[in-house]
Structure 1
Amino acid sequence: MRIVTYDPGQWETFIDEWVSSLKTKYHKVLRYTGANDRGIDVAGFADKNYLKGGWDNYQCKHYRDAITPGTAWPEIGKMLWYSFCGEFVPPRAYYFVAPRGTGTTLTQFLTNAPALKAALIDAWPKAVADKITSTQAIKLEGKFAAYVDAFDFSIFQPMSPREVIEQHRATPYFIPRFGGGLPPRPLVGAPPTDLGEHESGYVSRLLEAYADHTKANVPDLAALKAWKPLEDHFKRQRECFYHAEALRVFVRDKVEPGTFEGLQDEIFHGVADTADENHPDGFTRVKAVTQAAQDTPLDAHPLGASALVKDKRGICHQLANEDRLKWTK
């Protein structure tokens, strides 16, 4: 499992990515850092009451080995003490999260609430009392002892690394980090009959290229009916443009921000020299550039396996929309 090889910095980055997937099930997700975190690492809040409402705690640890009871006792102690003090209401669930998960002994305790409580109380004097705060030892006595005795220890639960990875799968960072490719793409329908506002740029540039080729005025799409090959070419280019737009939308929430733009950049650099070469006319340049785009290898790009011929050609027209490609000089 790749995550066990991460150093603390890489684990922290991975947890940051994973947290983003939790936002789909919570009103808000916050990460607490620093020495005064009161035992809270990553908190998922069910409502606007935050720590005073329904919330879950994800205690994230990065160790070479699985988490042991000795590691867990102080963290559980902090949760008990600070909830007793009224800093927050106890979470609905408290998960221990680590690259190698929880060890056998701790897992047995976490799946047996009475045994967990008894073991914690027994370990308290030596393993917990002086590890909750740096200013005093917290003894398990009086009202606090009664609070601990009545506490619902079933909230403390193990979370396997596999569960974390499955939640991470919902983030746009999963594919770049672990590979595996995108899910199958839905079929792309035919372009709508009417041109959309987002098509004005590349359509105007194509009409200019056709006029450059025919040496006649081509003011609008209706004029293309005089040249059947050009009319057919335009229909194919528009279909390609919509394929590229569909790919943009399809990957939007599945890959890291900027990944699709990176694909466009790969295409641009793959066709730039062809676009700069001398061509008899703009139409010839369009055909040469879109062919160069089709031939551009994308094996090293995260979206390479998902980019079809129509996508590659359509990206050229997206680039024309952005004035990065021009067909006439």
Structure 2
Amino acid sequence: MAHAPPRPTPDRTSVYREVTDRIIAELEAGRLPWVQPWSSDRVRAPLGLPANAATGRRYSGINILILWCAVVERGFAGQGWLTFRQARALGGSVRKGERGTSVVYADRFTPRDERIRADRDGDAAHSIPFLKRFTVFNTEQCDGLPGAAGETAETVPPGLILPQVETLIARSGADLRIGGDRAFYDIKADHVRLPPPHTFRQPIDWHRTALHELGHWTGAAHRLARDLSGRFGSAPYAQEELVAELTAAFTCASLSIVPSVRHADYIGAWLQILRADERAVVRAASAASRAADFLLAFGPSHTANPPSSAEAGSDGGERLCHAEIV
């Protein structure tokens, strides 16, 4: 006999709602959280992805957006973060009165009643995916840290940015075709079409566009196997555009390229998706992190997070929301 999987309790879904409401508020204000921070004169932190200052591992998925927002709103000058215990383990401490930032990691649990039912019926128990909070502090909120822990990772020198992007594109092996006046990924033929570079106002805009379309390219069945079947104007199509936008933003930030907006006209569609499904932005950010890591592995400095099947728990700050959220 088939059994419906158990549903999460309200307190477990509140994390999704809280994160989604924040992203919705930004979009309603006309700001894209993955672009706007780096166009503001108020930002003190260098362009890049937030990282755990104890391990060097970079945060991923929705945590990137959460920590980028914190850097902007609170004026931190660095992208390094630690848990309270990590700061102590490094010989430092979080200053008294400092307020931390809640980030999340994905996990699953099986309710007791579901375990009993599965044992009784002799079938598999259905577990429930959920997000769990933990608190991190920017290294600026800590005292007594060793020098390396408080340092901000160096950005790519300006003269190396374009060569690094070009190396990534070349090493990816993507079938890149130049011509026409449209940029798109052809799913059936598995190639990326881009207008000639000279048709863009700035050379870097051609590279930004290439990274966006390569974001779609990563979703092919023989790569990361995302659902690319959505028709133009549909919710699945807009969801995939959100994944590609975030992929380009995360990849650009890793390469010291200020992210830009490729499809601002999708904001209305994204708002509809987020209002209808509180997990949509978490899924999109998680998929985008996988796609960005896939692309960055082709870069000259291999700037992607190394894959890990057994990431640390909440105190390590490194179960970074790559787990599937359904």
Q: In which range does the TM-score fall when normalised by the shorter chain?
A: under 0.3
More strand by share: 2
More helix by share: 1
Larger relative contact order (CA 8 Å, sep ≥ 6): 2
Tell me the TM-score normalized by structure 1.
Answer: 0.22
Larger radius of gyration: 1
